[in-house]
């Protein structure tokens, strides 16, 4: 996948550096030239942008996150298709500085009960807000929790999220989520999980 650093997306978001990259997308730090603020821009990998189901799942992530207003869930600010320059599908989010909980654990080692509660209680609160709206995350894991330099935890990546009343895009026979953390029922059939699977993963 090519590095788009330096590109201006939709004549508005200037990509400044890669923050992270996963199987579905790359996240860049960027400058919103219109509002003069720093943001994160998540750009779907080009080969996946040719697949309608992946694009629909990507847009669903934006809608799911945008419907949530919680201090411990990353805020979604915009979504679109780049009309000029490199063709891409993108989501614009607040830029969170910090380390994933995965990296934090590698650096800090086992956490005390008190520190564990300081991190996990806000994440549980974020999940409660999502579950209240019927949104199931389906991919709770340490790399989807960001710990800021101030020690604040934020839940990110609703790429596999689905509303319990929505038709699922998951193909029968596939497994979504990360095997180390998913519940047994999600491993068997990710189409029929509910909020309890998120709690198991947490």
> Is 128 in a helix, a strand, or coil?
helix
CA-closest candidate to residue 24, choices 158, 192, 123: 158
Residues annotated as catalytic (active site), given as ranges: 139
Query: What values do phi and psi take at 13, rounded to 5?
Result: -105, 110
Give the C-alpha separation, 86 to 52, whole Å: 19
Q: Distances from the Cα of 59 to the Cαs of 43, 91, 173, in angstroms?
A: 11, 8, 23
Give the C-alpha separation, 89 to 191, whole Å: 25
């Amino acid at each position: 996948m090519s590095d788009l650093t330096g590109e201006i997306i939709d004549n508005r978001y200037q990509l400044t550096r890669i923050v992270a990259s996963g199987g579905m997308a790359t996240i860049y730090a960027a400058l919103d030239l219109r509002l003069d603020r720093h943001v994160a821009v998540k750009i779907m990998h080009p080969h996946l942008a040719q697949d309608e189901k992946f694009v629909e799942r990507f847009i669903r992530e934006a809608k799911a996150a945008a419907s949530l207003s919680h201090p411990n869930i990353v805020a979604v600010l915009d979504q679109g298709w780049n009309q000029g320059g490199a063709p891409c599908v993108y989501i614009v989010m607040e830029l969170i500085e910090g380390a994933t909980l995965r990296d934090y654990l590698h650096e800090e080692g086992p956490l005390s009960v008190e520190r564990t509660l300081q991190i996990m209680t806000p994440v549980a609160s974020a999940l409660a807000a999502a579950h209240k709206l019927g949104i199931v995350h389906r991919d709770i894991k340490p790399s989807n929790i960001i710990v800021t330099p101030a020690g604040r935890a934020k839940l990110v990546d609703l790429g596999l999220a689905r509303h319990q009343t929505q038709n699922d895009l998951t193909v029968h026979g596939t497994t979504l989520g990360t095997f180390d953390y998913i519940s047994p029922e999600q491993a068997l059939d990710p189409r029929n999980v509910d909020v309890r699977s998120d709690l198991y993963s947490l």
